[in-house]
Structure 1
Amino acid sequence: MKATGRQVFDHIARAVAQEGSEVCFALMGDANMNFATRLSEQGTRMIYVRHEHCAVAAAMAYARKSGQVGLATVTCGPGLTQLMTALPAAVRAHLPLVVMAGEAPLKQGWYNQGIDQAPFVTATGARYRSLHWPERMPTAIRDAFLEARRDRVPVVLGIPFDLQNLPWDGGDDLPAPSVQLLPQPSAIPPNPADLNAAADMVGGAKRIVVMAGLGAVEAGAGEACRALSRKCDALLAATLPARGIFAGDPFNLNVAGGFSSDIARVCFAEADLVIAVGCSLARHNADGGKLWPNAKVLQVDTDPVAVSQGRIAAEAHLRADARLGVEALTAMLEDRATEWRTPALAARIASEPADGSRFAVEPGLHDPREVVSALETHLPADWQMVNSSGHCSYYFAHMPSRPWDKFLTIREFGAIGNGTSFAMGVAAACPEETVVLFDGDGSLLMHVQELETMRRHEMNILVIALNDGAYGSEIHKLRADGLSDAGAVFGRTDLAAIARGFGIAGETGTDLADLPAMIARFAKTGGAAVWDVPVSDRVYSPLIRR
């Protein structure tokens, strides 16, 4: 074929750009910088981060918030090995990602950054595809996006950079993009026999909790679940990733799992049936089986499971789309007399604190529960909230007025240090909105360099860090075991001063009465900022106590 005057990386960039991911999170090196430059010139918005892990973690949050495939690019060797924490988190959260990674040049017998990259990626549960034939690369890229979309999994593409730099000898045509090939199956209605069995099970139960997961969110089943709960005198709850789907309902117990409130645990203990709608029924969702000790589980899902993460997760199943299954089940039932959904219980749910334990808080420090309560009261309702991981994330999960579409939580791998990345992903997906990141000092310090990325890309992100001067989960576990906590205590770093050093605003929250004025100032100025809120290290969550 006649030479086009372009190089392979030009055509790779065209193939990626037509897949429709509007944002790419990147850290450039020899093996991806030419491709990344061309991708930017194709119109993709590039967010240039300071660490490769943060590129993929930001793409995770972007995928969850935007509904698009998250896109990131890193170089070969050490660029790729930095992804080993983010990839398993994306796998377990079922997030569709494509990572464009370089590979060592094929023409060289030895390259100092060359390693066998595939085993690293496949060990995380992600997919690895080597692209070693230039003319097939556009189709292989399309197939990777199709795989990510259909299987909801990260796919890493390794492309040797000497191949990327070859002249492009193919034609100008591109394969059809993945969205044109993606199957569009209709929602699955329930089987009538299965529906009758499920209705009999519900009819024989006395205390029912309708629990929704991300499958219910994606199917638009929230209102159907509310209608089911009203008809069968049931309470409502949500898995942690779906928290907020029932915000505002007087019988919403909020989070079901290890993060459940005191009143939620009381109610779940009374339940004899949990109807799990669009839930994967992970171990934490049931608090290892301790949350509903007397209840059977009826799972409504397109892919029901019997065993999940080493435990029997459900005794009965209704294979169906979350919304269609719940609506059909509701239609089968007779209205039940109100016994559980009483005004007295609604009053308890509304008034009782998530954690009623008492602690002696040192002078000059805050109780983290009071901090979160004040933020729940004063933060604007239309701001996007991002909850990080670590000890502090329990407290921030209990902001009951915040609906699902304004509150992001990704905790499937249990790693701290992701907060700044998740906030950047949400900011990229919602560029016109204000983003608030809730984080701990230990987590923030792990990737504090991304404050500079926020400033450089003019992101509107307020970071609120609970600063206990330690790794919160670890100090409480060490103390409970009678061991020294010295290895987990590092002192109260001046996070506000660090923020100012990166060129953004930094304040210390010494008085919660100042919050309304601080919020008003930030709403007026925007940009990026860090609020350093000193909290007591003597207050610990019910999850840690258990």
Structure 2
Amino acid sequence: MNDKADHGHRIYDMLARVFINEGVSTCFALLGDANMAWATRLADAGCRMIYVRHEHCAAAAAMAYARKTGETGVATVTCGPGLTQLMTALPAAVRARLPLVIFAGEAPLKNAWYNQGIDHAPFITATGAAYLPLHLPERMAEATRDSFLQARRERRPVVLGVPFDLQARSWPGQLELPVPARQIQPRLSPVPPNEDDLEQAAELVESSRRIIVMAGMGAAEAGAAAACRALAARCDGLLATTLPARGLFHDDPYSLNIAGGFSNRVGRECFSEADLVIAVGCSLAHHNSDGGKLWPKAKVLQIDTDPVSVSQGRLAAEAHLRADAKLGASALSESLRQRVPDWRSPALARRIATAPADDTEFAIEPNVHDPRDAVTALEAALPADWQIVNSSGHCSYFFAQMPSRPYEKFLTIREFGAIGNGISFAMGVAAAHPDDTIALFDGDGSLLMHIQELETIWRHKMKILIIVLNDGAYGSEIHKLRAEGLSDEGAVFGRTDLAAIARGFGVAGQTVDNLGSLPELVRAFQSGGGVAVWDIPISDKVVSPVIQRAHPKLPVSSPVQ
């Protein structure tokens, strides 16, 4: 697109046009001096602007939007305090390998002192993101285009800093918009496996007896689900996914669901028997293997375009097949003989389908629910075509145990371990799928961190149902403190009336005292639409298996036999 600008245009006009030229159609924004003129021009050019109430939420929503659309997420904040509010979202985006471009502005160059002036770059680079100061007008258009190339190639955020006094200057001379990144970025074809490597991988598989094919985000993005299923069936193996790829095999009778700290009881038993895990498109993170405890007897064969031996401080894989996830899994499957089913049996399929994820007994106090019962009721009541967003925190284990939900309708981003992101992620998914209904699963402590975004959701007419497991505390912290015999006072806050808070924002709020009422509540929400908060009071005595294993001193009953 070649577009001549006249001399009356300012730099912020032209930078907005560069973003439009990059195909940007959605931007999450909170305005201030250093970005408001640019953002206004971006909106004037037809970009949908979602104006949030906190800068962190702009970046976090852009993360979810990037994950669900496959595009580069775009957000904008002002300089100084606007930028420092990004410090939790950016490392999460870096670790989740999500491409973002964030227009952050900068303090004016002409001022000897400016109260919001701060050296942006050390903050941004400390998170693992890239910082690109744009101080030369003649280079700004091309450098902005290059930021999209960098974000896509490196799969991480790039933050742009443009002093706002420079933004207000007239554009110097004529402008031909640079060729957009999508037209010049390399077109990389899927990489097939090397024949020698394939032969060695096949020998390892043939010599193994109990095999689990585990798929990650690389497999999901490569469209490798069917190839993974075929590979598992060929070698009498089972299936599993990493947490972010949860639901990729949701309808397969031999899918163990999640591999990692969130694995269910049957999954952990099967992984303990495995002598080979074939990791297809997995980063092999610490939690994926439960710190190495999930498959104590198994070797790992990694199929990936960028295979690794060590990941997050531990030996992650002993064997490697460098290949695209789909091509590698397909080629390996075709090189193997068909095994007679042994591990795959009707009895195991029944156990996978019917065994509870966790059946530890707890003494439930009156007038609250067992979170496991709440999740079972929600699994039955919520329509299968809704988009599901699972937040972080203690409650997220329970919500992850909803086996019927397909990957395409599920999102979780937990790589930085931060709570408080759920409502932002739900907004990002709603922006990516504006015609769908979004169900956000969150905890009370997490929601309260950014509950102001209820107003954003209402104002932008998003269809989001927020379902909160309310234990009146920070769930992980109370159980860890109790396990160590320490006071939990600093993590217990009482059961905030979240339904009343929701109504204060002008949206529907409901306290769910009876789980049997959920089907009728779902019908009412479907007919009314809009945004609502369901506050489900849960027991603070129910401890997730993740915490149980990490803190064996916790007073819990034995599993029911």
What is the TM-score with the length of structure 1 in the denominator? 0.99
Q: How many Å apart are 1:136 and its aligned residue?
A: 1.2
Q: CA RMSD in A?
A: 0.9
1:373 to 2:376 alignment: yes
Other structure's SS at 2:541 match: coil
Amino acid at match of 2:373: E
Q: Secondary structure at the match of 1:524?
A: helix
The answer for the alignment partner of 1:99 in structure 2 is 102
* 1:3-42 map, 5 Å: 4-42=7-45
Q: Are residues 1:58 and 2:22 paired?
A: no
Superposition deviation, residue 2 in structure 1: 9.7
CA drift of 1:14 comes to 0.1
1:136 matches 2:139:
yes
Amino acid at match of 1:385: I
Aligned residue number for residue 473 of structure 1: 476
The residue aligned with 2:319 is 316
Q: Distance in 2 between matches of 1:200 and 1:257?
A: 27
Contact 2:430/2:437 (CA < 8 Å) preserved in 1? yes
Aligned amino acid, residue 277 of structure 1 = V
User: For residues 482 and 104 of structure 1, what CA distance do their matches in structure 2 show?
Assistant: 50
> Does the Cα contact within 8 Å between 1:385 and 1:406 map onto a contact in 2?
yes
2:437 to 434, 439, 452: 434
Among candidates 247, 250, 256, match of residue 247 of structure 1:
250
What does 1:483-522 align with in structure 2 at a 5 Å threshold?
483-522=486-525
Tell me, what secondary structure is at the counterpart of 1:243? coil
Q: Is the 8 A contact 2:5 2:175 kept in 1?
A: no
Aligned to 2:182: 179
What's the offset of the Cα at 1:196? 0.3
**What corresponds to 1:192 in structure 2?**
195
Measured after TM superposition, the shift of residue 161 of structure 1 is 0.2
Residue 87 of structure 2 corresponds to 84
CA distance in 1, matches of 2:340, 2:6: 77
Partner Cα distance (2:408, 2:300) in 1: 27
Distance 1:170 1:504 in 2: 50
**Cα shift readout 1:230-263 (whole Å, capped 9, x = no counterpart):** 1100000000000000011000000000000011
Q: SS state of the match for residue 417, structure 2?
A: coil
Residue 515 of structure 1 aligns to a residue whose secondary structure is helix
Cα shift at 1:462? 0.2
**What is the CA deviation profile of residues 137-191 of structure 1, one whole-angstrom value per residue up to 9, with x for unaligned ones?**
1101100001111111100000000000001123131000000011111110000
* Residue 543 of structure 2 corresponds to residue 540 of structure 1: yes
- Checking the alignment, whether the CA contact within 8 Å between 1:23 and 1:45 is kept in structure 2 is yes
The aligned amino acid for 1:170 is G
The aligned residue for residue 450 of structure 1 is 453
Q: CA deviation at 1:3?
A: 5.7
Structure 2, unmatched stretches of 5+, are 550-561
Q: How many residues align?
A: 546
Task: Give how far 1:313 is off.
Answer: 0.3
**Aligned AA for 1:386?**
V
Q: Distance in 2 between matches of 1:135 and 1:227?
A: 54
Cα distance in structure 1, aligned partners of 2:172 and 2:140 = 12
Matches within 5 A, 1:142-161: 142-161=145-164
* 3-state SS, counterpart of residue 383 of structure 2: coil
For 1:178 and 1:3, how far apart are their aligned partners in 2?
24
2:264 counterpart of 1:261: yes
**What secondary structure, in the 3-state scheme, does the structure 1 residue paired with 2:364 have?**
coil
Q: Following the alignment from structure 2 to structure 1, what is the Cα–Cα distance between the partners of residues 277 and 547?
A: 25
Question: 1:157-172 counterparts in 2 under 5 A?
Answer: 157-172=160-175
Matched to 2:287, the amino acid is H
Answer whether contact 1:3 1:169 (CA < 8 A) is retained.
no
Matched, 1:44 2:21: no
Secondary structure of residue in 2 paired with 1:241: coil
Show the counterpart of 2:467.
Answer: 464
Contact residue 305 and residue 314 of structure 1 kept, 8 A: yes
CA distance in 2, matches of 1:440, 1:511: 18
- AA paired with 2:214? M
- Secondary structure (helix, strand or coil) at the match of 1:103 reads coil
For residues 58-90 of structure 1, the C-alpha deviation after alignment (integer angstroms, 9 at most, x for no partner) is: 000000001110000000000000000000000
| Per-residue deviation, residues 399-446 of structure 1 (Å, max 9, x unmatched) | 111000101010000000000000000000000000000000000000
Contact 1:3/1:167, CA 8 A, preserved across alignment: no
Q: 1:295 — aligned with what?
A: 298
Alpha-carbon separation, structure 1, partners of 2:262 and 2:97? 21
Q: 2:422 aligns with which of 419, 422, 431?
A: 419
Superposed displacement of residue 21, structure 1: 2.3
Instruction: Tell me if the contact between 2:478 and 2:492 (Cα under 8 Å) persists in the aligned partners.
Output: yes
Residues 11, 313 of structure 1: alpha-carbon distance in 2 compared, 3 angstrom cutoff: same
2:131 match: secondary structure: strand
What amino acid does structure 1 have at the position aligned with 2:137?
P
Letter of the 2:151 counterpart: A
Query: Structure 1: 5+ residue runs without aligned partners?
Result: none
Q: In structure 1, what is the equivalent of residue 552 of structure 2?
A: none
Alignment match, 1:230: 233
Give the secondary structure class of the aligned counterpart of 1:274: strand
Describe the shift of the 1:526–1:175 C-alpha distance in structure 2 as closer, same or farther (beyond 3 A): same
Do the aligned partners of 2:26 and 2:49 also contact (CA within 8 Å) in 1?
Answer: yes
- Residue identity matched to 1:466: L
Q: Give the TM-score taking structure 2 as reference length.
A: 0.97
Give 3-state SS (helix, strand or coil) of 1:205's partner.
Answer: coil
Aligned residues with identical type, % of pairs: 69
CA deviation map 1:486-512 (0-9, x unaligned): 000000000000000001000000001
The whole-number CA distance in structure 1 between the counterparts of 2:6 and 2:353 is 70
Query: Which runs of 4 or more aligned residues in structure 1 lie more than 3 Å from their structure 2 counterparts after TM superposition?
Result: none
Helix, strand or coil at the partner of 1:288: coil
Deviation at 1:356, TM superposition (A): 1.3
Change (3 A) 1:2 1:244: closer
| Contact 1:2/1:169 (8 A) holds in 2 | no
Q: Distance in 2 between matches of 1:303 and 1:407?
A: 26
